[in-house]
């Protein structure tokens, strides 16, 4: 992803898991289309970390990408050179933590946490470096 070719009209929505990435991507997609109709495409096909860059390259412009990756893992030089738009979504860490705990506990996500205890999850996963995309802090 760090070497991915970007276009001048690309937009990147970046946020920690369960912080509103999907919601904001939907809003931005509606603004791009000029229509408040829910996009039936899977948001995952626009997640930079889950799709091969060759697939992302084939998407029509303007492209709106999602990511949970830290800024240091993104194509920073391309972003600076092309002056891309990036939207960083920040959610109260307490809310993001509780939301992800319930999401993972319910088995909805691809990356469940191996605990049913919130205190253990917070100490050993959310607050440490054991989360999929690194610690929140």
Residue 47 DSSP code = B
Residue from 68, 88, 102, 124 carrying the catalytic annotation: 68
Dihedral sign for Cα 124, 127, 130, 131, please.
Answer: positive
Contacts of 111 (CB under 8 A, 6+ apart): 104, 132
Catalytic annotation present for 22:
no
d(CA 44, CA 127): 26
User: Prior bond to 95 cis, omega within 30?
Assistant: no
State the catalytic residues. 68
């Amino acid at each position: 992803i760090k070497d991915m070719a970007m276009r001048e009209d690309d937009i990147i929505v970046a946020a920690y898991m369960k912080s509103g990435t999907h919601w904001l991507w939907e809003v931005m997609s509606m603004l791009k289309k000029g229509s408040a109709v829910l996009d039936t495409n899977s948001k995952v096909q626009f997640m930079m970390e889950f799709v091969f860059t060759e697939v992302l390259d084939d998407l029509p412009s303007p492209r709106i990408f999602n990511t949970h990756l830290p800024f240091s893992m993104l194509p920073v030089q391309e972003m600076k050179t092309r002056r891309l738009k990036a939207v960083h979504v920040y959610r109260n860490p307490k809310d993001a933590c509780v939301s992800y705990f319930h999401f993972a506990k319910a088995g909805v996500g691809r990356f469940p946490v191996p605990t049913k205890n919130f205190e253990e999850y917070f100490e050993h996963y959310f607050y440490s470096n054991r989360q999929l995309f690194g610690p929140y802090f």
